[in-house]
Amino acid sequence: MAKVQAPSNVGPGYWRVPFGRALIALIPAAIITFNGDHSAEFGVITFGAFALASGLWLILSGPRTLTVATDRSLFLISGIVSMVAGGVALAFHAGGHGFFLFVVSVWGAVTGFLEIYAGIRVRKRALPAKDWLFTGIGTAILALLFLLLPPNPVVSVGLFGAYLVFLAVFLPIAGLSLKWDSPRQRRGVPVPNDSDSL
């Protein structure tokens, strides 16, 4: 049965989560853009640092600002997967181009699916379903492209850098939208509870 609650399943401070993710993406995006070394090892190290930092940020900030248990679990799992992928990448940074394609594609497929699923679950709520879907689809596309890429480290690292730029541009916009729209939408209206969203 539907219950009365805000039409968003995030707390008022959740807008800081996408902002933090954007900042974490901005640093390696700038490094890739202004660095002439697009070797496989450079790509693996850059990805490893990004995944480790973004995973830690999700674990520390995401569950604290999500109001639905299932969403907290999804983002906690995503954070753990990112940290594991980042740790593996840094531990085997000399693994070569094939390893770079493998670790990024597996990470992108898993975390992209989790974020897409999170967005689909709350698709009837204005916030933040579209943001989760858009980011998840972008990550899943990255994984697919890495599976189909030709064996060229320069292209691979450049594509990963473009993905980071996408996050650095889109996530702050999503965060500001959440910050500005949330007070207007936090009016008591019937929305599905956690069990109704499954």
Domain range enclosing 118: 12-180
- How many domains, in total, are found in the chain? 1
The answer to whether position 193 is within a domain reads no
Nearest to 97 by CA among 57, 54, 156, 56: 156
User: When comparing pLDDT for 89 and 186, which is higher?
Assistant: 89
Q: List, as one string, the DSSP characters of 107-144.
A: HHHHHHHHHHHHHHHTTTSTBTHHHHHHHHHHHHHHHH
Cα 85 to Cα 102: distance, rounded to the nearest angstrom: 10
Q: What is the pLDDT of residue 59?
A: 95
The answer to whether position 195 is within a domain reads no
- The pTM assigned to this predicted structure is 0.85
Nearest to 39 by CA among 161, 162, 151, 154: 154
The answer to whether position 5 is within a domain reads no
Asked whether the beta carbons of 197 and 70 are under 8 A apart, the reply is: yes
pLDDT in tens, 125-155: 656 888 899 999 999 999 999 998 777 899 9
Distance of CA 180 to the CA centre of its chain: 21
The answer to whether position 186 is within a domain reads no
The answer to whether position 189 is within a domain reads no
The answer to whether position 192 is within a domain reads no
Q: What is the pLDDT of residue 125?
A: 66
Question: Is pLDDT of 193 > 90?
Answer: no
The answer to whether position 197 is within a domain reads no
pLDDT in tens, 27-69: 999 999 998 889 999 999 999 999 999 999 999 998 888 888 8
The answer to whether position 175 is within a domain reads yes
